[in-house]
Amino acid sequence: MTDQYSLCLDALKTQLRTLTAFFPAVTGMAAGWQVSENDLTPMEGSDHFVVLRPGAFSQTRRSDMLENEWHTLATLYMRYAEYDNLWPLYRAFRSAVLELPDTKPIRTNGIWYQAMAAQGEPGYIVDAKTGAYLNLVAQTLDVTIKQRVKIR
């Protein structure tokens, strides 16, 4: 059986990786390597990252159609050098991500709807051992993808 969630997750990764202003190629790494499912990616260098995790889901069967509502938790990370320009830079990054469903919608694998929402505010990342700030801010978005799949 086809893993429908993985198809949607791969489409979301591809969509996010189109933001090459934030996810450029760097020496030894292809463009978009900063969008992954690996929690350690933000420690690799660079300035912008998105770490993806599976969230809630629901399925509804209607005759020969299966309707899936997939939620993916997308944590946006941004490294900053100076506090003074942190928030304008972060807002630009988050805005570019939030505009994707309108500017570059996913229309593959039966996907017909996409939305993004945040339940909490962005926060600073602190080293658990030392209590020191790591010059990173993060915010988790809930990405909703609705998909229709024909059942045989």
pTM above 0.85, yes or no: yes
pLDDT band at 43; cut points 50, 70, 90: confident
- Catalogue all structural domains in the chain, each as residue range(s) with its CATH number: 4-150 (3.30.2000)
pLDDT tens, residue by residue, 1-14:
789 999 999 999 99
pLDDT of 29:
78
The runs of H, that is alpha helices, within 1-152 are: 4-16, 86-103
% of the chain with per-residue pLDDT over 90: 73
